[in-house]
């Protein structure tokens, strides 16, 4: 009796529900089929749904980068490195490391308009430098420029994102993500999300530049001199932080072959590798100590150490360069971990701005709060659906009309959840608000269909049904188009916590109008048409 | 058997002017409230920390409310702007407004202070002033574009002036009235309430389009069409209102502020929509149908 051609809408709906069910539950099913595959053991929940920070707990940091940039700078034939040096000389509070001059390298990969000339940029990433100061410094150094603005260049942002991701991975914060977001006004932010970590930990990790250098501190005549002897990229490999019985905390490092002979020579010249080693008393008496090696993190001396007689011997003998390993000693193990992370991940070219006035946002949800929200919002949703069902049953007092209505509305949510699981979109409260909007408009539409189709007594032919259904659909389509249009601006913008809400409301309305609501019409016809 | 039927209103007893007077008066009052708010506070609505910048800390404390509030005040070095308690859970929501000009106290410092005082920190969120200003532009821009898009679409669909204006006007009123009520009741504009205002555009247009469609595009007596549209439309709106009331109560009990805010604003807006659709929109349509055409 069931005519496939007549009921294709219902069949389509069932197919979609099945696909969604598959997307929601498939790995657990697959695990059962394989006889308990090990790779899904980590999936603790029953479904494949991923939860955003609001529903799982964790920290989200959104901050702009500190810096000012001049664009369209005429280098006048100077090497970018020289330009950077010259500009930094004119700036108070910015060292050569804070000034980067670039001949535009991104022009090839950006989708910029063809008329935009590849321009050269000078950016300063030290704190507290204003655009005016940069402009003055450029003029003083004799470079022409087109514009100066707040913010840093695209390549710097990309590098920051890459390094932050490294740092988070190195620190073992699993599931952490870093990405760039842009506001409606074209401002750029770096978005860091780390599940299950509290805000201060994450901030500590991402807020520091993470520069690590080794300096030699040695007497030259009356005074002491400090020279950088090893930099971040002079290391070939960096070990994990360790703590020995007698040695204290340290990070084992290997100096790269090209730098090792030079370092060896430096150690001999500065007197660090003298006969019998050196005893460092920098902390107590910086101006009366033997030569020291200083561990300088973010511009501050965090530890100072001397050299053991054995190491000094091998440095002087020249055999050290063949096997250039040594230990960076730190005061405690957590500092050693920090140094190790910073050395591996690299230093950030620009800092994240956390100031109250111009910074971004920080939010932290405790895991227990997240779990509570997850369960409670589910209960809230169910209660709302029950309220809808109650009203609908009372209004129509006909189970044949009301029951499919509730089932259809719920199937929209199932399909949306399946979609979210399928593409791995993390569920957040704003997405749940979207589900509520969908159920709301969905039930409205189903009421329109039901009233229209059942208007004026029995439906005794398919033609009558079709014409009524089409009439109802005009209203539904018009309302749906309005909703989609109303939500689309928010869905497109990558920033903003309402994006999930907008995306899922639009998706839900589209699924509703194209799949589930027409199917309800067919169900209703099957249940109410007299002539069959 | 419990059963509710939509009552048939005898519209012939009232003139168009009488029908339109009530919703227009309410709209004017709402606009006066919003305007007055703008004059007094410099902003048409009370903006939450998502828009002004500031920090919100949620802590769980057992014990009586007054003792807990005392404990909260002593824990932080800054004076909290508000302390709200979440019913059914011993959770307190403490907000700190970032003051213009001053650097304020950072979220990290507040978190540390709470932990030092032995409070169980449930969540911390902080928004800087400039980020808040961005969000504000985004939210207002989104709302504006959505409203404009809706208006254009409505005009394109009906292609007649008066009925289209009726839809747009009642949608405008559906948004203005909840905003005024938010001011009066001290509900702050948050991302949740912005979402709710956006949803209202959709809900509002639903019932208006239904009414217009029944009256303009169907054959039959004006009052008969009206009644049929009302039977469907009122059912729709009442269903949504009941769902939203229940959701608001549940979400408030659980302390899910976003959902509670959405629910509250939608209840206001949907109630306003009932009034606007069947008094304002209807009177304009009747005027258009009986006087506008014969002219």
3-state DSSP of A208-223: CCCCEEEEEEEEECCE
Spell out which residues of chain A touch residue B139, defining contact as CB-CB under 8 Å. Answer: 496, 498
- pLDDT higher than threshold 80 for residue A250: yes
Please indicate, yes or no, if residue B5 is contained in any of the structural domains.
Answer: no
Cβ of B130 within 8 Å of Cβ of A359? The answer is yes
Cβ under 8 Å to A: B residues 234-253: 235-236, 238-240, 242-247, 250-251
Task: Between B138 and B172, name the one with better pLDDT.
Answer: B172
CA–CA separation, A122 and A109 (whole Å): 19
Please indicate, yes or no, if residue B285 is contained in any of the structural domains.
Answer: yes
Please indicate, yes or no, if residue B166 is contained in any of the structural domains.
Answer: yes
Cβ under 8 Å to A: B residues 88-147: 89, 98, 102-104, 106-108, 111-112, 120-131, 134-135, 137-139, 141-142, 145-147
Helix (H, G, I), strand (E, B) or coil at A54: helix
Cβ of A355 within 8 Å of Cβ of B259? The answer is no
Q: At what angle do helices A429-453 and A517-528 cross, to 10 degrees?
A: 40
Spell out which residues of chain A touch residue B225, defining contact as CB-CB under 8 Å. Answer: none
Cβ of A383 within 8 Å of Cβ of B192? The answer is no
CA–CA separation, A134 and A100 (whole Å): 12
Q: Look at A154-163, A219-228, A375-384 and tell me which has the smallest mean pLDDT.
A: A219-228
Query: Which residue in A356, A388, A393 has the most chain B C-beta atoms within 10 A of its own C-beta, making it the best mutation to test that interface?
Result: A356
Question: Looking at residue B62, which CATH number applies to its domain?
Answer: 3.30.70.3090
Cβ of A198 within 8 Å of Cβ of B111? The answer is yes
What is the topology classification, in CATH, of domain A8-21+367-528?
Answer: Multidrug efflux transporter AcrB transmembrane fold (1.20.1640)
What does the pLDDT read at residue B174? 94
- pLDDT higher than threshold 50 for residue A116: no
Task: Say whether both B148 and B260 belong to one domain.
Answer: yes
- pLDDT higher than threshold 50 for residue A444: yes
Which of B127, B145, B168 delimits the end of a domain?
A: B127
DSSP state of A225: E
What is the topology classification, in CATH, of domain A212-344?
Answer: Gyrase A; domain 2 (3.30.1360)
Which of B127, B154, B189 delimits the end of a domain?
A: B127
DSSP state of A116: S
Residue of chain A whose Cα is closest to the Cα of B191? A498
Task: Say whether both B198 and B276 belong to one domain.
Answer: yes
Residue B105: pLDDT band (50, 70, 90) is low
Task: Say whether both B110 and B224 belong to one domain.
Answer: no
Task: Say whether both B138 and B165 belong to one domain.
Answer: yes
- pLDDT higher than threshold 90 for residue B180: yes
Residue A38: pLDDT band (50, 70, 90) is very low
Count CB neighbours of A410 within 10 A.
Answer: 18
Task: Say whether both B137 and B273 belong to one domain.
Answer: yes
Q: What is the average pLDDT across A315-329?
A: 82
How many domains, in total, are found in chain B?
2
Task: Say whether both B89 and B208 belong to one domain.
Answer: no
DSSP state of A106: S
In sequence order, what E strands does A137-182 have?
A: 147-150, 177-182
Residue A373: pLDDT band (50, 70, 90) is confident
What value does the CA radius of gyration of chain B take, rounded to a whole number of Å? 23
B202 min Cα distance to partner chain A (Å): 5
Please indicate, yes or no, if residue B16 is contained in any of the structural domains.
Answer: no
What does the pLDDT read at residue B173? 94
CA–CA separation, A416 and A503 (whole Å): 11
What does the pLDDT read at residue A32? 37
Residue of chain B whose Cα is closest to the Cα of A499? B195
What does the pLDDT read at residue A43? 39
Cβ under 8 Å to A: B residues 254-283: 254-256, 258-259, 262, 266
What does the pLDDT read at residue A201? 77
What does the pLDDT read at residue A3? 66
Q: Please write the tens of the pLDDT for every residue from A128-176.
A: 788 888 888 888 888 888 888 888 888 888 888 888 888 888 877 777 8
Q: Please write the tens of the pLDDT for every residue from A447-497.
A: 888 888 777 656 666 777 778 888 888 888 888 888 888 888 778 765 567
- pLDDT higher than threshold 80 for residue B30: yes
Task: Say whether both B143 and B82 belong to one domain.
Answer: no
Say if CB B201 and CB B147 are below 8 A apart: yes
What does the pLDDT read at residue A39? 31
Cβ of A185 within 8 Å of Cβ of B134? The answer is yes
Q: Look at A415-424, A452-461, A521-530 and tell me which has the smallest mean pLDDT.
A: A452-461
Average pLDDT, chain A: 79
Task: Say whether both B106 and B135 belong to one domain.
Answer: no
Average pLDDT, chain B: 83
- pLDDT higher than threshold 90 for residue B276: yes
Cα first-last separation, chain B: 49
Count Cβ atoms within 10 A of the Cβ of residue A198 and give its class: 0-12 exposed, 13-18 middle, 19 or more buried: buried
Residue A226: pLDDT band (50, 70, 90) is confident
Task: Say whether both B201 and B276 belong to one domain.
Answer: yes
A348 min Cα distance to partner chain B (Å): 21
CA–CA separation, A344 and A254 (whole Å): 12
Task: Say whether both B197 and B116 belong to one domain.
Answer: no
CA A429 vs. chain centroid, Å, equals: 18
Domain boundaries, chain A: 8-21+367-528, 56-63+157-208+350-363, 68-150, 212-344
- pLDDT higher than threshold 70 for residue B87: no
Spell out which residues of chain B touch residue A360, defining contact as CB-CB under 8 Å. Answer: 127-128, 131
Cβ under 8 Å to A: B residues 143-202: 145-147, 149-150, 153-154, 157, 191-192, 194-195, 198-199, 201-202
Which of B63, B96, B127 delimits the end of a domain?
A: B127
Task: Say whether both B154 and B288 belong to one domain.
Answer: yes
Domain that holds residue B140: 131-292
Say if CB B169 and CB B150 are below 8 A apart: no
- pLDDT higher than threshold 90 for residue B25: yes
Task: Between A464 and B249, name the one with better pLDDT.
Answer: B249
- pLDDT higher than threshold 90 for residue A219: no
Across the A:B interface, residue pairs with CB atoms under 8 Å apart total 251
Give ipTM to 2 decimals.
0.83
Q: At what angle do helices A499-511 and B191-217 cross, to 10 degrees?
A: 30
Residue of chain A whose Cα is closest to the Cα of B252? A380
What is the topology classification, in CATH, of domain A56-63+157-208+350-363?
Answer: Alpha-Beta Plaits (3.30.70)
- pLDDT higher than threshold 80 for residue A199: no
Residue of chain B whose Cα is closest to the Cα of A207? B108
Task: Say whether both B112 and B137 belong to one domain.
Answer: no
Spell out which residues of chain B touch residue A373, defining contact as CB-CB under 8 Å. Answer: 254, 256
Residue B27: pLDDT band (50, 70, 90) is very high
The answer to whether the Cα torsion of B83, B87, B91, B93 is positive or negative is negative
Q: What is the average pLDDT across A365-387?
A: 85
What does the pLDDT read at residue A162? 87
What does the pLDDT read at residue A104? 63
Question: Looking at residue B199, which CATH number applies to its domain?
Answer: 1.20.1640.10
Task: Between B15 and A110, name the one with better pLDDT.
Answer: B15
- pLDDT higher than threshold 90 for residue A380: no
């Amino acid at each position: 009796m069931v005519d496939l051609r007549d009921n294709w809408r219902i069949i389509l709906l069932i197919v979609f529900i099945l696909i969604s069910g598959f997307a929601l539950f498939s790995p657990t099913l697959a695990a059962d089929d394989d006889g308990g595959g090990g790779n899904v053991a980590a999936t603790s929940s029953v479904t494949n749904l991923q939860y955003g920070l609001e529903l799982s707990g964790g920290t989200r940091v959104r901050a702009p980068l500190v810096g000012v940039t001049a664009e369209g700078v005429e280098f006048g034939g100077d090497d970018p490195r020289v330009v950077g040096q010259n500009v930094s000389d004119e700036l108070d509070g910015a060292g050569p490391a804070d000034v980067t001059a670039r001949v535009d390298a991104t022009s090839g990969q950006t989708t910029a308009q063809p008329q935009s000339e590849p321009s050269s940029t000078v950016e300063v990433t030290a704190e507290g430098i204003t655009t005016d100061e940069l402009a003055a410094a450029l003029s003083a150094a004799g470079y022409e420029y087109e514009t100066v603005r707040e913010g840093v260049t695209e390549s710097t942002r990309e590098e920051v994102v890459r390094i932050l991701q490294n740092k988070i991975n190195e620190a073992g914060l699993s599931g952490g993500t870093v990405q760039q977001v842009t506001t409606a006004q074209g401002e750029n932010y770096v978005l860091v999300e780390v599940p299950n970590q509290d805000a201060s930990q994450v901030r500590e990790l991402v807020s520091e530049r993470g520069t690590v250098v080794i300096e030699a501190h040695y007497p030259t005549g009356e005074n002491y001199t400090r020279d950088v002897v090893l930099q971040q990229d002079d290391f070939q490999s960096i070990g994990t932080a360790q703590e020995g019985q007698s040695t204290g905390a340290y990070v084992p490092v290997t100096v790269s072959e090209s730098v090792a002979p030079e370092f060896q020579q430096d150690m001999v010249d500065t007197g660090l590798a003298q006969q019998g080693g050196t005893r460092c008393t920098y902390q107590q008496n910086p101006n009366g100590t033997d030569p020291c090696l200083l561990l300088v993190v973010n511009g501050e001396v965090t530890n100072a150490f001397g050299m053991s007689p054995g190491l000094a011997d091998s440095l002087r003998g020249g055999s050290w360069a063949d096997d250039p390993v040594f230990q960076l000693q730190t005061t405690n193990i957590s500092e050693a971990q920090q140094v190790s992370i910073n050395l591996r991940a690299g230093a950030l070219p620009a800092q994240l701005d956390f100031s109250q006035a111009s910074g971004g946002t920080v939010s932290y949800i405790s895991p227990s709060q997240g779990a509570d929200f997850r369960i409670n919002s589910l209960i809230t949703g169910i209660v709302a659906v029950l309220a809808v069902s109650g009203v609908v049953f009372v209004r129509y007092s006909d189970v044949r009309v009301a029951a499919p209505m509730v089932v259809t509305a719920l199937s929209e949510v199932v399909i949306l959840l399946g979609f979210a699981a399928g593409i791995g979109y993390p569920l957040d409260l704003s997405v749940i608000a979207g589900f509520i909007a969908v159920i709301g408009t969905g039930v409205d539409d189903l009421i329109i269909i039901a009233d229209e189709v059942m208007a004026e007594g029995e439906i005794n032919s398919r033609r009558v049904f079709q014409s009524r259904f089409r009439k109802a659909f005009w209203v539904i389509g018009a309302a749906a188009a309005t909703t989609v249009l109303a939500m689309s601006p928010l869905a497109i913008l990558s920033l903003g916590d309402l994006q999930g809400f907008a995306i899922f409301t639009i998706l839900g309305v589209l699924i509703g109008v194209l799949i589930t609501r027409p199917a309800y019409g067919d169900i209703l016809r099957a249940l109410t048409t007299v002539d069959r | 058997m419990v059963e509710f039927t939509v009552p048939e209103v005898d519209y012939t007893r009232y003139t168009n002017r009488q029908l339109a007077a009530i919703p227009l008066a309410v709209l004017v009052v709402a606009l006066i409230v919003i305007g007055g708010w703008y004059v007094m506070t410099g902003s048409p609505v009370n903006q939450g920390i998502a828009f002004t910048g500031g920090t919100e800390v949620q802590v769980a404390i057992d014990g009586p409310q007054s003792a807990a509030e005392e404990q909260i005040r002593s824990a932080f070095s800054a004076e909290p702007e508000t302390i709200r308690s979440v019913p059914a859970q011993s959770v307190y929501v403490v907000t700190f407004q970032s003051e213009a000009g001053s650097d304020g106290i950072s979220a990290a410092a507040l978190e540390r202070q709470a932990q030092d005082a032995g409070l169980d920190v449930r969540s911390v969120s902080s928004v800087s002033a400039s980020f808040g200003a961005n969000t504000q532009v985004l939210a207002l821009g989104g709302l504006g574009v959505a409203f404009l898009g809706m208006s254009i679409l409505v005009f394109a669909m009906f292609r007649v002036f008066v009925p289209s204006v009726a839809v747009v006007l009642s949608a405008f009123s559906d948004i203005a009235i909840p905003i005024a009520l938010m001011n009066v009741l001290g509900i702050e504009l948050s991302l949740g309430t912005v979402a709710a205002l956006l949803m209202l555009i959709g809900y509002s247009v639903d019932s208006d389009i239904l009414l217009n469609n029944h009256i303009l595009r169907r054959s039959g007596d004006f009052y008969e069409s009206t009644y049929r549209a009302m039977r469907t439309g009122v059912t729709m709106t009442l269903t949504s209102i009941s769902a939203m009331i229940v959701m608001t109560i549940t979400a408030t009990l659980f302390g899910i502020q976003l959902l509670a805010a959405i629910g509250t604003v939608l209840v206001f807006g949907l109630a306003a929509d009932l009034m606007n659709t069947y008094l304002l929109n209807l009177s304009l349509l009747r005027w258009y149908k009986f006087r506008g055409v014969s002219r």
